[in-house]
Structure formats: C-alpha cells, structure tokens
Amino acid sequence: MDITITRMYKVSNEFDYVATKFDNATKYGVWFGGRAPLNGLPGHGYGQYVGDVFRYSNDVAYPTKPWDKWYASPDKSSDAVNMRWFGPFKTRRNAALWLVGYRRGALSSDTE
C-alpha cells in the first residue's frame, strides 16, 4: 500500500483556549487561527473551533509534572466522559496541533 500526501498546510502557533472546569479536571476548547468567541472582540477575527484538549496528571496537587499526558478530542460535546480522546501528547500545543491536522484531513478527505 502506498500512501502519499497531496496537501500541505502551514500551521502557526496561533491557538486560543477556553477552559471548562469539572470536579477534578479541566477541559480546554481549542480555537485555531484567531480568538475564541468568548475571548475575542467583535470584528477582530474569530478562530475556527477544532476540538478539545485535556490534561491527565497522576498528581492533582502538582499538575505540571513531566509525566503529565495531554489528550485531544475532535468531538464537540460538553460530556467529557463519552468523548473520543486521542493521545497521549507531551504538551497542550502538540495536542492542539494534532486537532488541526485531524480537522484539515477530515475537511479535505480525498479517499478513493
């Protein structure tokens, strides 16, 4: 089986996050290419919603240890338990980059 990449996209560092707090965790909505509607001003360009990221830590008191794992979900839901989570990723940025790639691949799916 041969796999070829036919489309290339330039990905910038421009991400915006909106936190949703739960009992013992936080899920971040990710917007790419501009600000989230809750964080931006009208007329200044909103980004595209690409999914959610979530950090799993074994140590709740110190949630920035190196063994933290970030997960990404392209699903749009407020129910974090039943979402499809992919990962683990080392950083929140890596998880957000994966979401951009997933969305771009889903939008331009040229399967034969």
All structural domains of the chain with their residue ranges: 18-107
Q: Which one has a higher pLDDT value, 80 or 93?
A: 93
Query: pTM value?
Result: 0.71
| pLDDT tens sequence across 58-86 | 655 555 566 678 899 998 877 777 888 89
DSSP assignment of 30-60: EEESSB-TTTSPTTS-B-EEEEEEEEE-S-S
- Are residues 97 and 77 in contact, defined by beta-carbon separation less than 8 angstroms? no
Q: Which of 67, 61, 69 is nearest to 91 (CA)?
A: 69
| pLDDT tens sequence across 40-64 | 777 777 888 999 998 876 655 555 5
Longest dimension (CA), the chain: 49
